[in-house]
Structure 1
Amino acid sequence: MSQNIFLCSETVRPSTRWLDAFPEGVCHERRTLVTAARPGDVIWVESGRGDWLEDLGTLVRSLPGCHLVVVSMTPDGAEAVAVLDRGARAYCHALAVPSVFRDVELVVRHGGLWVGPELMTRVVGAAGRALAPHAEVPQALLSGREAEVVHEVVNGLSNKEIAAKLGITERTVKAHMGAIFEKLGVRDRLQLVLRLSEHGNVPLPVH
């Protein structure tokens, strides 16, 4: 059975909220982690430990099949991008409530990425601006309204902001997002932006 493992040290320990979320979770120091972890385990790493970013990349390479999650006491958009760039699957607040920790676990175990709603919007906006010259909305696959929603996602707008701009309800935006994800074969906003940037070279699902 897969585990939740928190990377501990003399000064770093999981929060009581993390322990509440995962009563069966375990702690390992760096020296024992590689031998203790198995494919499918979720490895939780706290940011800010010296050269932790470089170490994160090493952990990703040395723990194939594991899902690495970074927790931070001061979540930051730039740090989130750096974390994902090094192969982690999620980034969240170190003092999140237990239900959020369990949601993060569920998302990464199913192959998704998690950086939280606010940071995700900021990260997607940054990615959208960087990839804008290459992004192409597949009009043949989407309805006119869905294409409008995609355009605003690439611009970094949240569901609430998209609803206000397009004059529709936030619930309707969520419904459009679900249809868009299904049609384009993606799991989240970041994958959506990346897929659009590749649209000219990567075939999209035909529905």
Structure 2
Amino acid sequence: MQDIFVSNLSEQISHWAEAFPESKIVKDFSQVPSKLNGATVGDGLVFWLHVNEEKPDSLSSMVVNIVSRFQSAKVVVLANAPNQADCFAALSAGAVGYAHAYSPPAMLTEIKTVIDHGGLWLGKELLQRLIETSTKLVGNQPAYVNGLLDQLTNREREVAVEVAKGLSNKEVAKLLNITERTVKAHLAATFERLGAKDRLQLALMLNTH
């Protein structure tokens, strides 16, 4: 997938370039066709929209403009100052991810992996708030949740339960005394086995009344 960073910066933040060496940067998404040298636009595109304290309505408009012009593209908003209102505005407008503009390269590549598989990406604090709100409204019967957990290995089950509480990979690794890489491996296996697209969906699947 081609990565396009939309930003007023003259050059990419080092983290962006390190995560996606072949990516391009434009000041306006209308410049994209010329940047792709005539290649089919929209298909396989990920727009990383860099914003800095835009109002929610303005942010929504920016996302809608990209999604309407490149219907098969995915949009991830990178904010200098992430906040809940902007996050929900971006997702409601059609974005599939929302993160800090200075996220480390490893996180950026993880974001892309999640959205490539049809999932949504939110920052840790926003994800925890959404999980807390959603799980108060939606609950599953214990038998259903136990049936899902029975499909996992003991360690996968331990990781899944903690992730469903909103803990980060780093926090789960510390709690279970394993490496973050091991957490990622168990989580990937869990997503595939249970058919969960992202951490939020997993949390909703494993939430009981």
Which amino acid counterpart does residue 26 of structure 1 have in structure 2?
A: K
Conserved? CA contact 1:125–1:157, under 8 Å: no
Tell me the CA shift for residue 41 of structure 1: 1.3
Q: Which residue of the partner structure matches residue 205 of structure 1?
A: none
SS in 1 for 2:30: helix
Give me the whole-angstrom Cα distance separating, in 2, the residues matched to 1:45 and 1:92. 10
What is the DSSP-based 3-state SS (H/G/I as helix, E as strand, rest coil) of the residue aligned with 1:27? strand
Listed one character per residue, the Cα deviations across residues 155-190 of structure 1 (whole Å, up to 9, x for unaligned) are 6566788899xxx8365xx59866754443103221
Q: Report the counterpart of residue 99 of structure 1 in structure 2.
A: 106
The reply to whether residue 33 of structure 1 matches residue 32 of structure 2 is yes
1:45 corresponding residue in structure 2: 49
Q: 1:18 corresponds to which residue?
A: 16
Seq. identity, % = 34
Deviations 1:9-51 (A, max 9, x none): 4x67632321232232112313233775331111110233451
Give the deviation of 1:72 after TM superposition: 0.8
Contact 2:98-2:123 within 8 A present in 1 as well: yes
**Structure 1 pair 135/41, CA: closer, same or farther in 2 (3 Å)?**
same
The two structures have a TM-score, normalised by structure 2, of 0.67
**Superposition pairs for residues 1-207 of structure 1, below 5 Å?**
2-9=1-8, 14-28=12-26, 29-33=28-32, 37-47=41-51, 48-49=53-54, 51-129=58-136, 131-132=137-138, 135-137=140-142, 138=144, 139-143=146-150, 156=166, 169=176, 171=178, 181-194=191-204
Q: Aligned pair in 2 of structure 1 residues 22, 140: CA closer, same or farther (>3 Å)? A: closer
TM-score under structure 1 normalisation?
A: 0.67
Question: Which sections of structure 2, spanning at least 5 residues, go unmatched?
Answer: none
- Report the Cα distance in structure 2 between the residues aligned to 1:154 and 1:82, rounded to whole angstroms: 24
Unaligned stretches of 5+ residues in structure 1: 198-207
Please, which moves more after superposition, 40-49 or 187-196?
Answer: 187-196
CA distance in 2, matches of 1:162, 1:106: 20
Q: Which amino acid aligns with 2:198?
A: D
Distance 1:158 1:121, change over 3 A: farther
SS in 2 for 1:54: helix
Which residue type is aligned with residue 49 of structure 2? V
Does the Cα contact within 8 Å between 2:47 and 2:75 map onto a contact in 1?
Answer: yes
Superposed CA offset, 1:127-149 (max 9, x none): 223x33x5445144434x99998
Q: Across the two proteins, how many residue pairs are aligned to each other?
A: 191
